[in-house]
Chain A
Amino acid sequence: MKHIVAWLIVTATVGVTFATSAQAYDGDWKRGRVYFRQVCTSCHLSTSGKTISPADRVKADWSAYLKADKHDVKGKTNHSVKYYSSREYRKSIVGANKAAEKYLDVPDAELQADIMAFVLYGAKDSDNPSRCQ
């Protein structure tokens, strides 16, 4: 039985890894920029009066932040970073936000990769430190 489970895991892992790595989506930084500026920034401005610029953090910080997926450690808002790029969230603000509406049908993973591509593109230690404007 152990052999079978191990075989199953190996086959599936190899298959999925092959599939995803062979056709890896490396993120559209321009689409990530639109979403970041017109969804993330506008929400941050209206709720806290502050913007968070890609140039506020270095690439490693952004990677760690997105990987940890902790948006609000105090728990006042949704805890997950991914939630704010999810289709569920986009759907909830359609009508109030044109960018969310424009990208409503984009798969979650793809939009998350876009946002990741933009924050890394515009991080403090990048060649193009970007403001949130």
Chain B
Amino acid sequence: MNNRRGCRFGATIIGIWLTVLGLLFSGAALAVSKTTTADHSKFKELQKTFASGPEVTKACLACHTEAAKQVHRTKHWTWEFLNPDSSQRLGKKNVINNFCISVASNYAFCTACHVGYGWKDDNFDFKSEANVDCLVCHDTTGKYRKLPGLAGHPAYKEMELPPGSGKIVKPVDLTQVAQKIGKTSRDTCGGCHFFSGGGDGVKHGDLDSSLTVPDHELDVHMDAAGLDFTCGTCHLTSAHDIPGSRYVPTAKDTEGRHLRGKVSKGNPATCVACHSDRPHSLKEARLNDHARKVACQTCHIPTIARGGVATKMIWDWSTSGKMDEKGKPIVKKDEKGHVIYDSKKGDFVLGENVEPEYQWFNGKVRFTLITDKVDKSAGVTPINRFDGSPDDGKSLIWPVKVFRGKQPFDPVNNTLVKPHTAGQDTTAYWTNFGWDKAITVGMASAKAPYSGKYDFIETEMRWPITHMVAPKDKALACIECHRADGRLKNIAGIYMPGRDSHGWLDLLGGGAAFFALLGVIGHGSLRIFSNRKGGK
């Protein structure tokens, strides 16, 4: 009996030892680098079933009492921005573009990318703290998704979306998402900024889903196996206010490198904020001289849409509305599967590895708003204009994506128009393909006049390029610009060796070089001759 007890004791000891081994093993498996000091799954406020996003927000605000007030002050919430330079009232709420054109009357669709819940019409309550969406920026599960048409809400129950499509969307597990919240990431920012303009990579050209796991070639800073920058690494956020604006960009950073312990009013998202305005070594002093006139991005982002995701370059709304023989909408794709025609939207031209265009830019942008007059006979209408000149001391040569298209306008009032495109009602263009009804409703929503007549006008829109920074050995070589048909062929106001020539200046320079060479040869010959003579 005692013997048996002894054996059982021994077996128990071995069992405990194996248990400890198991714990050690599982402990090792738990060695995950944590980027947060709080495990939100342990918070009682989050250990419940949530029926809606605002319910989750209320739970968040129980601890993060000031967060919603901070978000309320940002452009991500207001979608409105008063440009201090031009006094133009901008922001998504007000501007027009030549992609999906405008959010007016399309709120429920467009506000899938708003950091709030419930913005479906002009009556949205901008003061409601519960309507701030915390999860869209702080989700780490990748399972939180706001859907077009739901006014910024995710799916709370199984639903068919779009209605009649047969595609079933499952509800989001809000409890799981809330318990696993964390820092923002390329995924959370990219959820909107990679897919803006209606699809992956459509709008920017330098922001698309390939940046979720980029390699070194695609972006030296965001390289997932290297520096692994998130958006927030550069867009250093304070009180939920994210620096970096396309309405008042910092074209030339004169603040210099930001140093720890030194107060800086500069934009932390510029290249200069880390690399200074003389970023190259002394051996490359000539390149530092270039930095006085050329933006870093010009040389270091040789092409955009490099990650395998095409970007839209042209959008022609005037060809939309064509149907097949059965009267059904058409979608045409190219050999790579890119949509190049859609009855709802017209013709598209897409591009990969696109060389940007270049221009002087001082950071001042002026938009053509719905109150501004346009003139079809005057040529292409700029949706926005970038100011700049070689002489103002504020401009650098910048790379830009120029997005060209044709879009509806009012030929009587001579204004651009805001059509009602998205929705299931009888006036939405994507449902009923009638421009007149769509423009009538859209302009009424924008509280702007519409004559009842429409036409199409050529437009172009500029987007500064600043992401997809290539490795330094892939930066532009001198010859890319210093030749007659080089990348900077259209840059005016400067003399560029290799691109420009003046008869007398070339003669003078060539002559000076020739005579210098002659002098060197002559002097060298004399030295050799005199040396030999002396040697004798």
Query: Which residues does A use to contact B, with CB under 8 Å?
Result: 3-5, 7-8, 10-12, 14-16, 18-20, 22-25, 28-30, 33-34, 37-38, 97-99, 101-102, 107, 109-110, 113, 121, 127-128, 133
Query: Which residues does B use to contact A, with CB under 8 Å?
Result: 4, 7-8, 10-12, 14-16, 18-19, 21-23, 25-32, 140, 142-143, 145, 169-170, 185, 187, 209-210, 212-213, 215-216, 223-226, 307-309
Are the CB atoms of B224 and A28 closer together than 8 Å?
A: no
- When distances are taken between beta carbons in the complex, the residues of chain A under 8 Å from B4 are 3-4
- When distances are taken between beta carbons in the complex, the residues of chain A under 8 Å from B170 are 127
Are the CB atoms of B142 and A7 closer together than 8 Å?
A: no
Name the CB-closest residue of A to B143: A127
Distance, CA A38 to CA B224, complexed state (A): 9
Are the CB atoms of A38 and B29 closer together than 8 Å?
A: no
- When distances are taken between beta carbons in the complex, the residues of chain B under 8 Å from A133 are 209-210, 307-309
11 additional contacts (CB under 8 A) given A12-B14, A133-B308 = A4-B4, A7-B12, A8-B15, A15-B18, A16-B18, A19-B23, A29-B142, A34-B224, A98-B216, A98-B226, A107-B31
Distance, CA A109 to CA B8, complexed state (A): 32
- When distances are taken between beta carbons in the complex, the residues of chain A under 8 Å from B225 are 34, 38, 97-99, 101-102
The 16 sampled A-B contact pairs (Cβ below 8 Å) are: A7-B15, A8-B14, A11-B12, A12-B18, A12-B19, A15-B19, A15-B22, A18-B22, A23-B23, A23-B27, A25-B26, A25-B30, A25-B32, A29-B142, A110-B31, A127-B145
Are the CB atoms of A7 and B8 closer together than 8 Å?
A: yes
Q: Given A38-B213, A98-B226, A133-B210, A25–B18 Cβ distance below 8 Å?
A: no
Are the CB atoms of B26 and A15 closer together than 8 Å?
A: no
Are the CB atoms of B7 and A12 closer together than 8 Å?
A: no
- When distances are taken between beta carbons in the complex, the residues of chain B under 8 Å from A33 are 212-213
Distance, CA A20 to CA B20, complexed state (A): 11
Give the A-B pair count, Cβ closer than 8 A: 109
Return the contact of A11 from the options B16, B209, B216 (Cβ within 8 A). B16
Q: Say how far A51's CB is from chain B's closest CB, in angstroms.
A: 11
Q: Say how far B493's CB is from chain A's closest CB, in angstroms.
A: 41
Are the CB atoms of A107 and B28 closer together than 8 Å?
A: yes
Q: Given A8-B15, A15-B18, A107-B31, A99–B224 Cβ distance below 8 Å?
A: yes
Shortest 4 CB-CB distances between A and B: which pairs?
A11-B15, A15-B19, A98-B225, A19-B22
Distance, CA A38 to CA B140, complexed state (A): 21
Are the CB atoms of B11 and A11 closer together than 8 Å?
A: yes
Distance, CA A12 to CA B492, complexed state (A): 79
Name the CB-closest residue of B to A103: B225
Distance, CA A30 to CA B140, complexed state (A): 9
Q: Say how far B463's CB is from chain A's closest CB, in angstroms.
A: 23
- When distances are taken between beta carbons in the complex, the residues of chain B under 8 Å from A24 are 26
Are the CB atoms of A30 and B18 closer together than 8 Å?
A: no
Distance, CA A4 to CA B7, complexed state (A): 7
Distance, CA A14 to CA B142, complexed state (A): 34
Distance, CA A22 to CA B23, complexed state (A): 9
Q: Say how far A125's CB is from chain B's closest CB, in angstroms.
A: 11
Are the CB atoms of B224 and A8 closer together than 8 Å?
A: no
Distance, CA A107 to CA B28, complexed state (A): 7
- When distances are taken between beta carbons in the complex, the residues of chain B under 8 Å from A23 are 23, 26-27, 29-30
- When distances are taken between beta carbons in the complex, the residues of chain A under 8 Å from B21 are 16
- When distances are taken between beta carbons in the complex, the residues of chain A under 8 Å from B212 are 33
Q: Say how far B269's CB is from chain A's closest CB, in angstroms.
A: 23
Distance, CA A82 to CA B323, complexed state (A): 52
Distance, CA A18 to CA B216, complexed state (A): 43
Q: Say how far B207's CB is from chain A's closest CB, in angstroms.
A: 15
Name the CB-closest residue of B to A23: B26
Find the residue from B30, B169, B185 having the highest chain A CB count within 10 A: B30
Q: Given A20-B26, A98-B216, A99-B224, A15–B15 Cβ distance below 8 Å?
A: yes
Are the CB atoms of B16 and A15 closer together than 8 Å?
A: yes
Are the CB atoms of A128 and B213 closer together than 8 Å?
A: no
Distance, CA A3 to CA B5, complexed state (A): 11
Are the CB atoms of A128 and B23 closer together than 8 Å?
A: no
Distance, CA A10 to CA B216, complexed state (A): 51
Are the CB atoms of A128 and B8 closer together than 8 Å?
A: no
Name the CB-closest residue of A to B216: A98
- When distances are taken between beta carbons in the complex, the residues of chain A under 8 Å from B224 are 34, 37-38, 99
Are the CB atoms of A4 and B8 closer together than 8 Å?
A: yes
Q: Say how far B92's CB is from chain A's closest CB, in angstroms.
A: 26
Q: Say how far B245's CB is from chain A's closest CB, in angstroms.
A: 28
Name the CB-closest residue of A to B224: A34
Are the CB atoms of B22 and A38 closer together than 8 Å?
A: no
Distance, CA A8 to CA B7, complexed state (A): 10
Distance, CA A8 to CA B9, complexed state (A): 10
Distance, CA A22 to CA B213, complexed state (A): 32
